[in-house]
Structure 1
């Protein structure tokens, strides 16, 4: 199965035992209780990702400010995008984790994201041991194919994934006030995908509802609904 993963990444040359051992370590979460875990490779992978993201952004978008570059880099290396990368290469079934972690729906995305990060660290180390760093020739092209469309989308819709910030900036400009969120727990089960419900008000007007597994997610969902209502009002009847 590891060979199939390496083939999906275009890294079939990494077939020796040291490389496979590094990949195996990268896919071992500490909850598995196997005597090793991927935390050190995750640390390594974080540096690799940030370096490659910075290189891509500086090269392809040279006119952006440092603040804009930092914001975009943070998006590229976020848990959300790392989990998407993991899903793209079908990484989830290969991760070793404990039974409790596997049953916890709130752990799925963070563990997948961290494992993907650790995998990048493992691949970088394996390529280095094979005689080169592999960054530019092998890892960068794969990440670039995912990152460039994402950056283009974020630049076209800067409010995307930052709905609360976008709504706050709008409410301050339009009404000289901040949005108010009313959030409550509506499902008692920990990890329920709609555990919290949120409502958002601007100038005492209810603009959106949201649900999520956390308060933050529910409020983001409510802010996204409010933003959509403000910028895509229903068509007037003929």
Structure 2
């Protein structure tokens, strides 16, 4: 009886069915790789990862319920050996550093998945970091800025505050943000007040302008 080939098990956490299907097709076309589970929300992802014990998790940063960064933190606190490759439709400048701090080994923009997905997965499976040349340069620049004593106040925001700040920059109202993040409008208003204090602005209009400018600079 021949020995059964042990396959590399990969879990996908993404709230877009077509994206999950496309990623699954790319992954299963590789010899020895299989998609052992999929999930659409943060909580579902934590459950599937716990059940499947995958070698690698592909996780979208932005989910309709929860977010990928918090998922990475939750799973890593229980099982620090799980490898994560974060994917996102947003520019690296918005979330890559936070994903790495949460425990991801790689970050890939969704627009680049066709060209770089397989290489990114192989790199992370080897327990090596995968990041673009642009991000490498940005991290070096950020390190140099920190040594000079300069700090961007946006860097002081929590992951949730950064997410709400981004949505404000996209022009979303408090009600729309609350609905998308499954939070109350009171909670969003509280976060808005925290944002104004941390970013040293006094009005909602100033906060909106700053958020919009940050969004433009990240594109």
Q: Which has the higher contact order (CA 8 A, sep 6+)?
A: 1
